[in-house]
Amino acid sequence: MSDAIAIADLNKRYGSVQALKDVSLSVQRGEFFGLLGPNGAGKSTLINIIGGLTRFDSGTVTVLGRNVVTDYRFTRRKIGVVPQEVVFDPFFSVREVLRIQSGYFGLGRASDAWIEELLHVLMLIDKADANMRSLSGGMKRRVMIAQALVHKPEVVVLDEPTAGVDVELRKSLWAFIRRLHDQGHTIVLTTHYLEEAEALCERIAILNHGELVALDSKRALLARGIGKTMRLCITTENPIGALPDALSQKVRRREGNRIELQLQKDSDSIIQVLDALRTHGAVITNFGVEEADLEDVFVELTHRSQA
Amino acid sequence: MNTLGLYTLFYKEVLRFGKVLLQTLIAPVITALLYLLVFAQVLEGRMEVFDGVSYTAFLVPGLMMMSVIQNAFANSSSSLIQSKVTGNLVFILLAPLSHLEFFLAFVLASVVRGLIVGLGVFAVAVFFVPIPFHSIGLLLLFGFLASAVLGTLGMIAGVWAEKFDQLAGFQNFIILPLSFLSGVFYSIHSLPDFWQVLSRFNPFFYMIDGFRYGFFGVSDVSPLFSLSVVGISLLILTGVTLLMLKAGYKLRD
């Protein structure tokens, strides 16, 4: 059986910027796939190409075995894309938007029942006849998700669906996406929130500067970090000033009198680090050691590819 | 062919201008009416037009066609630029619609708006002056072709423009002068030779002249020639637009 999405040797250039460079990856049917990368890594370009929104220079992209360029009618019917930016048509109500979107896919009034179901599931039913302009940002985002699902696509691609949404909505969106996955949809999710990818995705690709720097199962990616690195979180009485050079390179996060250092398990000594800080005048009030998470792996991989 | 998809996009475009009737239909009719009142008042009896045709009656088809031209252009161009700037064009681009279906939906919606506005101008104008009909078939044909040409031109402008400013430039420096200098307010035979020759290079002149023939059975040039010019303009612009859409120019970059 063909993959849900297969990408081979994909290249895309915007003027002098190589947005995607020889990217090859595949997403299996029924998989929950994460696409990670810093800003400008090429995630949205890749998603836009899969959805047919952007032309590419070379390579091949297929959805359920069919080419997204030559067989675009088939592939666009099989894929539902939720764009990253919150965009909407200010002329129409929520229900009108969904009926129109359904019509584009050749579905008539027969899809009305499904539209009503989407309105209920995404908690939009009270606003079904309200103009899009009157909706809150979170509601507009849910309408975009409904638009992507209106033709019941097998593959659902969500480009940072929880960017800028509050914690409550993020949780409810996670639950909804999980439900879609449980119903058999293939999910491709790009996100900035590594916690999100860690919680949801089975396999993860990391893009950086248009290149694929990692593609593995979440477990294998975490193992890369867990085996080798650890995180030392230190709280001091007063905020720490400038750090010795050897330590400043290991700083992962710094906030007031709290500092997080990323240490190599086999070469860094916690005792020596604490001693160095004390020698530097810091009064340590508390410290803890945490195992690496996806963020450490991400930072390590994206930094390594920049070097 | 995704017939329902095409119909839905067409319907959406018609619904869009239907939601702002005051701006898209009523305002252009009132503007044309003001032109009619002012120009007829000032120039009736002073301007030589066709034999047996009053200046006010002569003015009506010109104003109708000018409204058709400007509104058909405005419909496709403003819809596209708004969708591009606000970003909601993405929902159309994600749909399984071919570039031909995309083109037809936008142009046909422009035709509908152009013809409705033209009809609105006529409905108001008949209260002021009786207007004869020579050939309803020709009137419909010229009305359809002219609004299709301008709907297509509006698509080119809407696809090309990246901001409202550029579209306003296209409208103010190309569409508006060409429509005003096309014989809406005069017969080109009343112009000096140089301006007569120049007018013949303006495709909008043939739209208005042919349309006027449909009412009076009289025109500055042969209606068949006008029909050919307008038809060929439509074919050329359609070819250019379809190539732009197929290549994804400024839409799928």
Which residues lie below 8 Å from residue A65, measured CB to CB, with a gap of 6+?
A2, A3, A6
Report the C-alpha gap between A159 and B158 in whole angstroms.
Answer: 27
Rg (CA), chain B: 18
Contact between chains at B15 and A91 (C-beta distance less than 8 A)? yes
User: What φ, ψ does residue B88 adopt, rounded to 5°?
Assistant: -75, 0
Report the C-alpha gap between B91 and A88 in whole angstroms.
Answer: 9
CB-neighbour burial class of residue B89 (10 A; exposed 0-12, middle 13-18, buried 19+): buried
User: B22 CB near a chain A CB, below 8 Å?
Assistant: no
Give the B window 133-162 contacts with A, CB below 8 Å. none
Give the A window 75-134 contacts with B, CB below 8 Å. 76-77, 81, 83, 85, 87-92, 96, 100-101, 103-108
Options 1.10.10.10, 3.40.50.2020, 3.40.50.300, 3.40.920.10; CATH of A5-223: 3.40.50.300
> And the tokens for A92?
């129409």
Report the C-alpha gap between B70 and B179 in whole angstroms.
Answer: 8
Report the C-alpha gap between A213 and A227 in whole angstroms.
Answer: 19
Instruction: pLDDT tens for chain A, 307 residues: list them.
Output: 789 999 999 999 998 899 999 999 999 999 999 998 888 889 999 999 999 999 999 999 999 999 999 999 999 999 999 998 899 999 999 999 999 999 999 998 888 999 999 999 888 999 999 999 999 888 899 999 999 999 999 999 999 887 777 788 888 888 889 998 999 999 999 987 777 888 889 899 988 889 998 888 888 877 776 556 778 889 988 887 778 777 887 887 888 888 888 888 778 888 888 888 888 888 888 898 877 666 667 776 666 655 5
> And the tokens for A112?
């009305």
What is the number of CB-based contacts under 8 A between chain A and chain B?
A: 79
**B72 close to B41: Cβ distance less than 8 angstroms:** no
User: B98 CB near a chain A CB, below 8 Å?
Assistant: yes
Nearest-CA distance B117 → chain A (Å) = 20
Residues of A in contact with B7 (CB under 8 A): 103
Site of tokens 């070819």: B239
Which one of A48, A50, A72, A91 would you mutate to disrupt binding with B, by most B Cβ within 10 Å of its Cβ? Answer: A91
Q: How many CB atoms lie within 10 A of CB B126?
A: 11
User: B23 CB near a chain A CB, below 8 Å?
Assistant: no
CB-neighbour burial class of residue A168 (10 A; exposed 0-12, middle 13-18, buried 19+): exposed
Report the C-alpha gap between B178 and A14 in whole angstroms.
Answer: 37
Site of tokens 């081979």: A8
Residues of B in contact with A74 (CB under 8 A): 96
**Every domain of chain A and the residues it spans:** 5-223, 229-291
3-state secondary structure of A301: helix
Smallest Cβ distance to B91: which of A14, A72, A147? A147
User: How far from chain centre, in Å, is Cα A272?
Assistant: 37
Which residues lie below 8 Å from residue A215, measured CB to CB, with a gap of 6+?
A25, A203, A204, A205, A206
**A238 close to A284: Cβ distance less than 8 angstroms:** no
User: How far from chain centre, in Å, is Cα A286?
Assistant: 34
What single-letter DSSP state applies at residue B175?
Answer: I
User: B252 CB near a chain A CB, below 8 Å?
Assistant: yes
Contact between chains at B91 and A101 (C-beta distance less than 8 A)? yes
User: What φ, ψ does residue B104 adopt, rounded to 5°?
Assistant: -60, -40
Closest CA to B201 of B227, B173, B182: B182
Smallest Cβ distance to A88: which of B88, B95, B96? B88
Q: Residue A207 carries which side chain, given as an amino acid letter?
A: L
Instruction: Answer yes or no: pTM beyond 0.90.
Output: no
Instruction: pLDDT tens for chain B, 253 residues: list them.
Output: 999 999 999 999 999 999 999 998 999 999 999 998 888 887 777 777 777 788 889 999 999 999 999 999 999 999 999 999 999 999 999 999 999 999 999 999 999 999 999 999 999 999 988 888 999 999 999 999 999 999 999 999 999 999 999 999 999 999 998 988 888 888 888 888 888 888 899 999 999 999 999 999 998 899 999 999 999 999 999 999 999 999 999 999 8
Report the C-alpha gap between B204 and B226 in whole angstroms.
Answer: 10
Report the C-alpha gap between B5 and A59 in whole angstroms.
Answer: 29
Residues of A in contact with B87 (CB under 8 A): 83, 85, 87
Residues of A in contact with B90 (CB under 8 A): 53, 83, 87
Which one of B10, B94, B99, B249 would you mutate to disrupt binding with A, by most A Cβ within 10 Å of its Cβ? Answer: B94
**Every domain of chain B and the residues it spans:** 10-247
